[in-house]
Amino acid sequence: MKLIRLAIKQLRSRWLNSFLSIILLAFGVGIILLMTRFNEQYKAQMTNNLNGVDMVAGAKGSPLQLILSALFHADLPTGNVSLEDARKLIKHPFVKEGLTLSYGDNYEGFRIVGTEHAYIEWLKGNLKEGQLWNGKMEAVVGAELASIKNLNVGDEIVSAHGLVAGGDVHNENPYRITGILEANGSVLDRLILTATESIWAAHEGHDHAVEEEVTAVLVRFRSPVGFIQLPQFVSKQTNMQAALPKIELAQLYESLGVGIQTINGIAWLIMLVSGLSVFVSLYLSFKERKKELAFMRVFGASRTQMTVLVLLQSVFIAIIGFLLGMIFAVIGSNILTKLISERFPVHLNWFSFGRMELGIFFAVLLIALFAAILPAIQAFRVNISNTLRNA
Amino acid sequence: MLSTKGLEFSYTNGDAMVFPDIHLESKSNLLVLGPSGCGKTTLLHLICGFLNPQKGSIHINNENFGALSVSKKDAFRGKHIGVVFQQAKHFSGMNCLEHLEYASYFSGRKNKSDENRQLLNQLGLEASLKQQASSLSQGQLQRLNIAMALINKPLLILADEPTAALDDTNCERVIELLKEQAQATEAALLIITHDQRLKSQFQNQLSL
Ligand SMILES: Nc1ncnc2c1ncn2[C@@H]1O[C@H](COP(=O)(O)OP(=O)(O)O)[C@@H](O)[C@H]1O
Ligand SMILES: [Mg+2]
């Protein structure tokens, strides 16, 4: 215990020496934690949000964009398609179930989606209060949104054109809230749901004659044959494009994975450099420290104690660096979430301490201890006589 | 208490130094005088166990100290030998009380905080108990070093030119303190110096 206190005292009296090592260590740890958590969680959450949707059809454009906008309500829609095309697809014999989504409007930045009641079932949502929409201009809101905007059953909200707050406001046609959903961690939590007809009605008079259009069709296949037949059917028989979420996401994971691996590689490099810096700072300060070590030996301190003292200091650098790295990861995660939330609708859990964190902690500890081996041997071997003569 | 016999030591590429035998009883004092470079510090380092004698033996308290292993010497020194150096030393980031606390800790002895205060009071450091040692004057620091050498109640106190860095007033005070404290703890006191000012203060003297 006293030895631990002594190690802290010595570290504190020479804190500038270890400052660089700690900062480097913290950066390495922070980046690795950030990347690893992101990698683990976004995959799980995105896959979880597929809800058995085998195919998405919509206006031609980037298939990934179609999937991100239709399934995760991130990114912009690719455009609209005719209701006729959508119905043709849903009636196809290989389709087990299908439903349409119409989006493109928002209420103060939260997306309004015109669809059918079945959509809530698909996403395993449940009503907490009130009831589902029945007529035009009735809406159900997600739990998170309701609490952020303090919305209650019976309130009226005014939609605006576009997906971000501040577009043209559809003042003449407000929505009345008839129900609020339970939070279930899906995209429902932040959506406003209504009948497809309501979306058309909101645009009436505004876009003059409104065509009957939807934005995307979500489809579940009757059998795996659908994976081969239906994309062809869509591209040949309709004016839509088909996107297969599993394939698109797999490609996304792969390209993101390469990036994450590169960043992780750099982070490990930073940690190794920090290990080197621990070594250099311990090694260079040895001339000065050994006078104190020799003086401790005068009072009976053992060589083992001196070795442990050096190792302890290295361990403390590792612990402080790791804790600071955890803080960096939390700060970085908030920034990252803000930066990517448009494209990756992932709600990440940044405050976890599990096997991964423990593993990184031990890796950091190992690096620090490794860096301290030579300085620890030096401490063991201090020549008291010579050192005290020159002190 | 302390007896050396036929001690010899030579540094690599140096001439062999042959030291006269020393016999020192408990509670007695001895002043070892000699010009610079004659091997005084070497002798002290041999008796402390910082160096190993190449010939001869050192017995302290009936223990063949010179023949002990490094770790046994460390432990023995911590328990039974107190050392004061010409250049007073300190640990970074510690106040006076903590210095005594750690001097006891290293020797493996249970430390009592009121003992520490009392000793520092006796050495005239009562106003500096919580002061960082790095900010003490040279004279104060030397007194702190004496307190550290005494705190474990050693059987033998060794001092290597304890007064060389001090002015006349401090010099006299330090020697008085050393003699006084050695007597109080019933320790044997061995002072090694070339400082002629001390000649008049000791009855037992030995020249190198
Ligand atoms: N580490 C060393 N290596 C070689 N020679 C040394 C070393 N230390 C001291 N000496 C030499 O040994 C002799 C005795 O030194 P020392 O014991 O310090 O004498 P004193 O303390 O009486 O001045 C001197 O000639 C000195 O130069
Ligand atoms: Mg000398």
Q: Are A353 and A325 in contact (CB under 8 A)?
A: no
pLDDT confidence of residue A210: 64
Which residues on A lie below 8 Å from B79 (Cβ)?
300
pLDDT confidence of residue B158: 96
**Helix (H), strand (E), coil (C) string for A280-294:** HHHHHCHHHHHHHHH
Q: How far is CA A354 from CA A213, A267, A349, A359, A365, in A?
A: 48, 20, 12, 9, 17
| A209-232 residue pLDDT tens | 567 899 999 999 998 888 999 999
Q: Are A376 and A286 in contact (CB under 8 A)?
A: no
The nearest alpha carbon in chain A to B40 belongs to A389
State the amino acid at position B108 in one-letter form.
G
Please give the residue that has the higher pLDDT: either A337 or B95. Answer: B95
Give the separation between CA A69 and CA A64, rounded to whole angstroms: 8
Give the separation between CA A234 and CA A241, rounded to whole angstroms: 6
Q: Any idea which residue has 């922070």 for tokens?
A: A30
Q: Out of A295, A303, A389, whose CB is closest to B71?
A: A303
Give the separation between CA A225 and CA A228, rounded to whole angstroms: 6
pLDDT confidence of residue B46: 96
Name the nearest CA neighbour of A29 among A254, A273, A279, A378: A273
The nearest alpha carbon in chain B to A6 belongs to B102
pLDDT band at A346 (very low <50, low <70, confident <90, very high): low
How much is the pTM? 0.79
pLDDT band at A351 (very low <50, low <70, confident <90, very high): low
Which residues on B lie below 8 Å from A17 (Cβ)?
none
pLDDT confidence of residue A341: 65
| B24-48 residue pLDDT tens | 999 999 999 999 899 999 999 999 9
pLDDT confidence of residue A310: 93
Please give the residue that has the higher pLDDT: either B142 or A46. Answer: B142
From the CA of B42, give the closest atom in ligand 1. Answer: 17
Q: How far is CA A145 from CA A122, A169, A202, B21, in A?
A: 20, 19, 21, 93
**Distance in Å, CA B11 to ligand 1 centroid:** 8
Q: Any idea which residue has 């004016």 for tokens?
A: A239
Which residues on A lie below 8 Å from B78 (Cβ)?
299-301
Name the nearest CA neighbour of B74 among A293, A390, A303: A303
pLDDT confidence of residue A353: 79
Stretch (H or E) spanning A213: strand A213-214
Asked if the model's pLDDT at residue B138 lies above 90, the reply is no
Give the separation between CA A179 and CA A78, rounded to whole angstroms: 29
Name the nearest CA neighbour of B88 among A152, A295, A193, A110: A295
pLDDT confidence of residue B208: 85
Pairing of strands B156-160, B81-84: parallel
Q: Are B78 and B107 in contact (CB under 8 A)?
A: yes
Name the nearest CA neighbour of B5 among B82, B75, B64: B64
Helix ranges, chain B (H): 40-48, 70-80, 96-107, 113-122, 138-150, 168-184
Please give the full DSSP string across A164-184, using - where no structure is assigned: STTS-B-TTS-EEEEEEEPP-
Distance from A369 to chain B by nearest Cα, in Å?
Answer: 23
Give the separation between CA B2 and CA A148, rounded to whole angstroms: 84
Percent of chain A topping pLDDT 70 = 94
Stretch (H or E) spanning B7: strand B2-9
| A77-131 residue pLDDT tens | 889 999 999 999 999 999 999 999 999 888 988 999 999 999 999 999 999 999 9
| A137-157 residue pLDDT tens | 999 999 989 999 999 999 999
A307: Cβ–Cβ under 8 A, 6 or more apart, which residues?
Answer: A376, A377, A379, A380
B50 has a chain A CB within 8 A of its CB: yes
Give the dihedral of Cα atoms A298, A304, A309, A310; nearest 10 deg: 110
pLDDT confidence of residue A348: 63
B92 with A303: Cβ contact below 8 A:
no
Asked if the model's pLDDT at residue A182 lies above 90, the reply is yes
Please give the full DSSP string across A105-152, using - where no structure is assigned: EEETTEEEEEE-THHHHHTT--EEEE----STTEEEE-HHHHHHTT--
Asked if the model's pLDDT at residue A55 lies above 90, the reply is yes
Q: What is the mean pLDDT of residues A12-38?
A: 87
Question: In this structure, how many other beta carbons lie within 10 angstroms of the beta carbon of residue B146?
Answer: 24
The ligand with the least distance to the CA atom of B161 is: 2
pLDDT band at A344 (very low <50, low <70, confident <90, very high): low
| Backbone dihedral angles phi then psi of residue B207, each to the nearest 5 degrees | -105, 140
pLDDT confidence of residue A349: 63
pLDDT confidence of residue A100: 95
Mutate to test the interface with A, among B41, B74, B76 (most CBs of A within 10 A): B74
Q: How far is CA B62 from CA A33, B1, B22, B57, B76, in A?
A: 62, 7, 14, 12, 12
Helix ranges, chain A (H): 2-13, 15-48, 63-72, 83-90, 118-122, 143-148, 196-203, 226-237, 245-284, 286-298, 303-340, 355-380, 384-390
pLDDT band at A385 (very low <50, low <70, confident <90, very high): very high
Mutate to test the interface with B, among A1, A290, A299, A303 (most CBs of B within 10 A): A299
Our answer on whether the CB atom of A390 is closer than 6 Å to any ligand 1 atom is no
Beta bridge partners of A179: A130, A140
**Distance in Å, CA A34 to ligand 2 centroid:** 59
| Backbone dihedral angles phi then psi of residue A85, each to the nearest 5 degrees | -60, -45
Q: How far is CA A32 from CA A35, A128, A263, A362, in A?
A: 5, 39, 8, 14
Residue nearest to atom 3 of ligand 1 (CA): B11
Q: What is the mean pLDDT of residues A375-385?
A: 94
| B151-205 residue pLDDT tens | 999 999 999 998 887 888 888 888 988 998 899 889 999 999 998 889 888 889 9
Which residues on B lie below 8 Å from A6 (Cβ)?
102
pLDDT confidence of residue A180: 96
| Cα atoms in the 13 Å half-sphere on the side-chain side of A138 | 14
Our answer on whether the CB atom of B119 is closer than 6 Å to any ligand 1 atom is no
Selected residues 105-164 of chain B with any CB under 8 Å from a CB in chain A: 105-108, 148, 152
Q: Is A283 exposed, middle or buried (0-12, 13-18, 19+ CB in 10 A)?
A: middle
pLDDT confidence of residue A205: 59
**Distance in Å, CA B42 to ligand 1 centroid:** 7
The nearest alpha carbon in chain A to B45 belongs to A385
The structure tokens listed for B41 are 């510090």
Distance from B206 to chain A by nearest Cα, in Å?
Answer: 23
Q: Any idea which residue has 């955890």 for tokens?
A: A326
CA angle B170, B174, B178 (to 5 degrees): 175
pLDDT band at B23 (very low <50, low <70, confident <90, very high): very high
pLDDT confidence of residue B102: 96
* Highest averaged pLDDT of the listed ranges A47-51, B77-81, B175-179: B77-81
Q: Out of A6, A303, A385, whose CB is closest to B50?
A: A385
The structure tokens listed for B48 are 């402390």
Q: Any idea which residue has 């009936």 for tokens?
A: B62
pLDDT confidence of residue A34: 86
From the CA of B38, give the closest atom in ligand 1. Answer: 22
